[in-house]
Structure 1
Amino acid sequence: MLLDAKEGDIKLMSSPVGYPAQGVVTNLTHLVEKREGPAIKCISNCVAPCNRGEEAKVVGFCIADRLSDAYEGNLETGLFFSGTNGYKLDKIITVKELLDKLTQGE
């Protein structure tokens, strides 16, 4: 998903926790815009700042549910966060690899 993103595929969206979220536009994005997103299961039972699913209902998705879908490889309903330049990625590396590159001046 992230490695296939094009420049226009990364957008700001509202999140259930009240902060802007930036991610790759997917089928989830289109479903949420039409208010046809997946059921909000509230798997994490977050107390704050989502208030146990109340804010999720406002924006149309539960962040924990959608991140779980992304983790499980569900490209249709997963939420894939990315920085502004995420479309420039050509591979995904571990945090250790990134820190090694940064500390070695790459």
Structure 2
Amino acid sequence: GSYDTQVTVLRAGRLTLQRASREVLLDERLIELTPKEFALLEYLMTQPNVVLSRTRILETVWGTDADPLTNVVEVYIRHLRNKLDTGGTESMIQTVRGFGYKLVVPAP
């Protein structure tokens, strides 16, 4: 990808992603993610508050040969929401209708 891979720890709001150990913490709690879920979240966390198109996510996380008609992005976004959203609050990952998704990170 074209995003910065030199940073070993990404932080976005209550999330911490550690690239070396491939661990994700929500507050202090370890979240179990599959390799693809990790890759998707990692990409979202490198572009906080930026709307990323479905196509761009698909090409970055799944590769340029991925089927453009697949719903794999939607499926994995749903998996991530299920694991990251702690109920009551709105999702950290917001759908931007007709375009894509963004990871919403409140200003510190």
- TM-score bracket relative to the smaller structure: under 0.3
TM-score using structure 2 length: 0.24
The answer to which structure has the higher strand fraction is 2
TM-score using structure 1 length: 0.24
Q: Which has the higher contact order (CA 8 A, sep 6+)?
A: 1
